[in-house]
Structures are given as structure tokens and as C-alpha cells.
Structure 1
Amino acid sequence: MVLHPVTEEVEECMVSELIDPGLHCWRRDIIMESFQINDANAICKIPLSRRRATDSVVWLHTKTGVYSVRSGYHTARKVMTTKVWAESSSSAAGQQIWKVLWSLKVPSKLKVFGWRASHEILPTTVSLAKRKILDDDRCHCCKRFAETTIHAVWDCGVAQDIWAGSITPLQKWSTSYHNFRSLFESLMERLSKAELEFFLVQAWLIWNQRNAVIHSGQLMEPGWLNRRAEEFLAEYRKAQVVLTPSNGLSGSYVWRAPPSEEFKMNFDAAVFSDQHCSGFGAIIRNSQGEVMAAMSMGGATC
């Protein structure tokens, strides 16, 4: 593949014009004059067939080499998908979306959820049907429409019942979005950062409810999910507050953040004599002091 721009004359040039028919080798002098040096060297390294076979047109995307409308359609979709992925990572608009998403003060798993939803790689029934894993692509909750990402977390009637009781800016938001990314872009323009964080938490809970319906048939009451979103976000924000040890302890203890892109785990154990038991706890934080994971458990009885 030629990586550098060429002149119009070279664009119209046939490959056969670059080959010496008598010596059956590349016409190196013409190639060096017509192409950039790296492209020219790459062309000259391509081995030529010794069979002198007649040229023929071959479609690379079928086993037989024969073009079909079906293979053309799937190839076009693949090219467009690749283009969208490239634009989402490199374009100015794409960079802005990821900058906002990764800066939200929510657990990392929710940011990953938002990233996957924006790239349409959540395991929706539509996605699974395309992979021949499922035969039916209808939504598990409403049983009416094909379940895309935007349908599962926004358009579905079950999801809309939840959003209707959510924070005021989200209660009557439009449902005319083609995908999750376009919805997120619209929300970025009108919501505050705190409201955007709430949206991501609520969307994640709706997706989790969808999974619960599939695996256990359990459908939660919309009001409970709204309250849970508020509680979840409040609990996370409270956990982010860096607490310093009591001054009653001997010495001065100040938590120090680990280097960038590293994590620090702190742990401690205690014995409760009056209750005749012990306990253990651990917490993992990143270089900004954000809690990545935490746990506590009871120990042996005393």
C-alpha cells in the first residue's frame, strides 16, 4: 500500500507499466522517480510471479474471489465501523467526550461502562444476534423492540419509567437519539458535571436491572432504582474524602499518594476485647486519592 501522496499521472498508471516485460522485473528507475523513497523500496521488494499468468479481477472478501452484494454490504459496514472507531478516538469531538467521561467522579467500572456503551460493544441482544449467539434480538424487558444499547438504557419503556422519576433535567429528555454516544454528547452540553455523573450511575443501574431480568426475572420498582442511584453516588463521594488518623495516635501519620498510574493498598486489623472478636480491612486508592476498591471482614473470635 502506498503511504505517501502521488501525482495525478502516477494515479492513472497501471502496474504493468512498472514492470519490464522482457526481463520480467520491476522498472526500478521509473518507480524511484514516481514514488516517495520508502514506497518505492517497498514496491521493488514485492516478488513477481514467474508463471506470467494473465491478470484477473479478484474480490478479496469472499473465498471464491467473486463479488456478491452480500459480501459488499458486510464489507461496507465493517469499513464504516472502523471509521467510527478511528474518529471516536482521534477526532476533536471524540477527544472531548473521553476527556469528560474519564474526569467524572464515579467508580472506574462506571466509566468503562460508559465507554463500552459509547462504542456499542455491550452484549445487547442485537449484538448477540449478529454473532449468531441468539436468534431473537427483542428486548428482554419490553418484549417489543430490538435491544440496542440506546434502547436498553434509554428508549425502552421500562427504562423511561425510571428516567421519569429521576432528577428534573432528565425527566422529559428527548428519546430521538440514534445511539448512546449521541445522547451522551447532548447531555454534556446541557447538564452540570454532577448531573452527568448521576446520569451515568442511573444508566449503569438500568443496565444491571436488565441483566437481573435476564438471569432471575427480577424487575425492580422505578422509585427504588432512583433512590439507589442517589445513595450510590452519595456513598461513593463520601468514600473519596481522605481521612487523617486521630491525633491521639503517637507520631504523625499522613497518607501519601502513590506515583501516577500506580495504586496503593492500606490495611489494618483490630481486636475488640469487649466483643471477643477481631476484624480486618483494606482499601486501594489511586494517585488522586480516589477509592478503587475496599473490603472489610471479621476475624477469629478471641
Structure 2
Amino acid sequence: MQHGRWNSNLIHSLFDPHFEEKILAIPINSVQEKDTRFWSFDPKGKYSVRNGYRVEIGCYDTPSHSSEVHSSKWWKYMWNLSIPPKLRIFWWRVMHDIIPTAANLRVNHVPTEDFCSLCKGWNESTFHALFWCPVVKICWKKTKFWPLLKHVRHLGTLEVILWMKQELDRRDFELFVSRTWAVWNQRLKIVHGSSSGFDVNSLDGSAVMIREFQMASLSLLSPSTKITSLAPHKWMAPPRGQLRMDLDVAYHVDSNLFAIGGAVREGWLLHLEKKGLNLHQLFMQS
């Protein structure tokens, strides 16, 4: 601050344009008071070796955001998200910073390495493991969430989550939760040797899981809705003199492409892609 105004040149040199705009928009109190030292990671502003250590290893968030997270309004919003229960439990663990990252394991006196299990070069905090590990970033860069995530690399886990809630609508926030869960699950598979790398198709499947859960929930909540069994039916040939066509549709969320396939008894196979609108006819025998 300079002469009762923000030092815009200094702020411009220290922050990204997104945060620079928000800082300069903060009104300055006209009443000049003497500055006091305040440790922002303690509700009373007092420094201690314990919370200093937690900040150093990336396991502590600012009390302002902690108090917001512990409010009933936040948890009412969180528990009302239309996501499967296992995702709610996972998100609760993320919010309380108790997923088994290297940093959290060390806090609980579990012998482990200091560096990240995947990239081997960073402290494995919750934020690093879920969003900022160079290996994990690949899973985020092709999503709609990356333009927001790339601006929050200096924030803590709680701050990132609250920031995403503020910037995303409810549907996109649910997709963000499911994507985070999928990233963590695949990370565990790689660490424990059951997978050699991230499977992008599997990550995309988390969005499909959300949609299927929401459709099933709507069916259960509506008494007038008849729930149709999704069990496969035995294929039967059409009566003599009639044709039967079987159709299948697939949709890829990230690329926004769909494909339609149809098979006619004793006839031909259709395959249609939205991309290029290519129509292929393949003849086959029944």
C-alpha cells in the first residue's frame, strides 16, 4: 500500500492478472491504524511451532476458510450434491485433509518418503497429489476445470475447493468432485503397481457414473416413474416378412462427439459419427 492506495505496480509484479484484478478491487479503509503482526494460520493470530510445521509440509489451511468449511451452510450444500455416497465420503476426507498422502502420513508418524510417489520431486501434500503433480496435471489440462486450477497454485486445498465452488455451477462442481475422485483412485493404482499410467477413458467414465447415478436417483424419487430393467434381453429374430433394426448410441463427454450404430437382420450395418458426418455401410451375413 502506498499513500493510502494500492501499489498497483508491485501487485502486478507479484500476482497473476486474475488475482491482481481482485486485489485492486478491495476497498481500503480510510481510518489509518497501526499495523500489528498476525499469524494467519491461527485463529488468534499467534504463531506456534506445531502449526508452523503443518504449514511447512502443506497440511494447514487458513482459518478463514476453515471456519467457512465447518459452517452448516457449506455442509448442507456438500451433502446435497447429487453424487454417489462414496464420492461424498471421499470429498469429506479431502476437506478434512485426511487422505493418505505422504505429508499426512508423516504428520501421523508413519515412516514414508518426503517426495511425491509419482513425480519424485515435490512434497506430496493433498493439493499436490490431486491437482499439481506434473503427472496428474495431464489429467486436468484437457478439461474445462484447468483454466481455473492453473490460477490457484499458491493456495491451500480448502481454498482451492471453495474457489471452485464459487466459480462453478452446481452441475460442474459435481463433475469436478467426480474427476478429483477418479484422479485419486488412478493415482493409488499406479502407486500400488496395479496400473502403469493414467487411463484417460477411465477418468472420463467418472462423468458417466455421475449421470447414471442422477438418472437412477430421479427414478427412485418419482413414484410415477416406471423403472425399466437395464438387464440385457435375449435377441430374437423378427417374424417372417418383417425387419428388425437394433440401435446403439455412444457419447464422449470431453470431445462432445456421438456415434450411432444400427444393425438390420439379414441386411446392412450403419455407423454414423458426428465428426465429419461420415456414413459407412458395411455388408455382413447374419
Q: What is the TM-score normalised by the length of structure 1?
A: 0.49
RMSD: 3.9
For 1:234 and 1:139, how far apart are their aligned partners in 2?
Answer: 33
Relative contact order: is structure 1 or structure 2 higher (C-alpha 8 Å, sep ≥ 6)? 2
For 1:179 and 1:118, how far apart are their aligned partners in 2?
Answer: 11
Name the SS for the 1:163 alignment partner.
helix
Map of 1:275 onto structure 2:
none
CA deviation string 1:263-299 (max 9, x = no partner): xxxxxxxxx9xxxxxxxxxxxxxxxxxxxxxxxxxxx
Q: Which segments of 5 or more consecutive residues in structure 1 lack a partner in the other structure?
A: 1-71, 246-252, 256-271, 273-302
For 1:226 and 1:76, how far apart are their aligned partners in 2?
Answer: 36
For 1:93 and 1:75, how far apart are their aligned partners in 2?
Answer: 19
Shift of 1:201: 0.3
For 1:118 and 1:108, how far apart are their aligned partners in 2?
Answer: 15
* Mapped contact 1:165–1:223 kept (Cα < 8 A): no
Q: Does 1:138 align with 2:115?
A: yes
Name the SS for the 1:241 alignment partner.
helix
Return the match for 2:84 from 104, 107, 115: 107
Map of 2:216 onto structure 1:
239
Q: Would the alpha carbon gap of residues 227 and 77 (structure 1) be closer, same or farther in structure 2, given more than 3 Å must change?
A: closer
Shift of 1:159: 1.7
Q: Does 1:214 align with 2:176?
A: no
Q: Does 1:164 align with 2:141?
A: yes
Map of 1:148 onto structure 2:
125
Return the match for 2:98 from 121, 132, 137: 121
Equivalenced residues, count = 179
Q: Does 1:185 align with 2:166?
A: no
Once the two structures are superposed, the pairs formed by residues 71-86 of structure 1 within 5 Å of their partners are 73-74=49-50
For 1:75 and 1:180, how far apart are their aligned partners in 2?
Answer: 16
**Letter aligned with residue 170 of structure 1:** W
* Mapped contact 2:145–2:176 kept (Cα < 8 A): no
Q: Which segments of 5 or more consecutive residues in structure 2 lack a partner in the other structure?
A: 1-47, 55-59, 226-232, 234-286
Q: What is the TM-score normalised by the length of structure 2?
A: 0.52
Q: Would the alpha carbon gap of residues 73 and 99 (structure 1) be closer, same or farther in structure 2, given more than 3 Å must change?
A: same
CA deviation string 1:8-45 (max 9, x = no partner): xxxxxxxxxxxxxxxxxxxxxxxxxxxxxxxxxxxxxx
